[in-house]
Amino acid sequence: MRRWIVLLLSIFLMSCSSAQKKEITLATTTSLQDSGLLEYLIPEFEKDTGIKVKVIARGTGEALEIAKRGDADILFVHSKEKEEEFIKEGYGLKRDEIMYNDFVIVGPKDDPAKVKENASNNPLKAFELIYKSNSVFVSRGDESGTHQREKKLWREININPKWKSYIVSGLGMGQVLNIADEKGGYTLSDRATYITMKKNLSLQIVCEGHPMLKNQYSIVLLNPNKISHKKELAEEFEVWILSDKAKELINNYGIEKYGEPLFKFNGKR
């Protein structure tokens, strides 16, 4: 009995002492995980630098909170206003734009709000049509980058999105697409998650291709004076993700599997 206790305790303690390895914690958004991009990029980074990356995928809002608490070393998110606010409050040092794709409004095949017919490239009109026709709309409701954009669009047209079939879910992008699919509703999605899940959904794109739908992903470096973190390793990540190799990897991601790239690199060194 006593031998077992000693054995178990030593296993337990051994697992505790793993903190000294070369590794960083990357707080990021669900869309980068659900689209599979990180699973494709991170192993390359680990191979090139020998730094292990622990990916924590949450909504952008929560990712920023995790970083504020000091539980992450670098951020990879997509909400410009929130990122700038984060830097202004002194938590962040700077943000580097890395890549973009766009948001799309997706909806059921029968399109009850007639968005595709009347507003196929005008997101403001599309939201108005959805609101006026009392259609089902599923909101992320989790302060993520996508949710921020959705709120911004409602603000632009002065509509307070509160009607009977406006569903506030509090879930990640993938799950929200599933709910919209089940309920025959509309939702705002990043294109990457939509494309990767398209085969399981009966939703179609009803509105796309407008400057207000641009979806910019950036990394944010943390301020070492305010948050203690692994600054050198985070900077190595910054250098790598802005390199030509990463550029090519990002631009090619998705072509083989989905027939189109999911992200477009626009980082500047």
Partner 1 sequence: MEILEIILTSLYVSLTSTAIASIIAILLAVPFSIKDFKLKRAIYRIADSLMAMPPVVMGLIVFIILSKRGPLGELNLLFTPTAMIIAQMLLILPIIFVLTVRQIEKIAPTIQKNCYMLGGDYGDFLFLIINECKGEIFTSVTSGFSRAISEVGAVMMVGGNIKGYTRVMTTFIALETSKGNFKDALIIGLILLAISFLINIILHSLKGRETNEYIN
Q: Which residues bind partner 1 (CB under 8 A)?
A: 5, 8, 11-12, 15-16, 18-19, 25, 30, 33-34, 39, 54-57, 69-71, 171-172, 174-175, 177-178, 196-197, 200-201, 227-228
CB of residue 132 vs partner 1: minimum separation in angstroms? 30
Burial class (CB in 10 A: 0-12, 13-18, 19+), 228: exposed
Choice between 129 and 173, CB closer to partner 1: 173
Residue reference for tokens 């580097």: 96
Choice between 72 and 213, CB closer to partner 1: 72
- Give the pairing type, strands 187-190 and 204-207: unpaired
| 8-29 burial code (b ≥16 CB/10 A, e <16) | eeeeeeeeeeeeeeebbbbbbb
Choice between 15 and 160, CB closer to partner 1: 15
Cross-strand partners of 97: 218
Choice between 44 and 156, CB closer to partner 1: 44
Distance CA 15, CA 9 (A): 10
CB of residue 117 vs partner 1: minimum separation in angstroms? 28
CB of residue 200 vs partner 1: minimum separation in angstroms? 4
Choice between 79 and 193, CB closer to partner 1: 193
CB of residue 21 vs partner 1: minimum separation in angstroms? 11
Half-sphere exposure of 101 (CA within 13 A, CB side): 24
Q: Which residue, among 61, 29, 72, has the nearest Cα to 222 in the 3D structure?
A: 72
CB of residue 239 vs partner 1: minimum separation in angstroms? 23
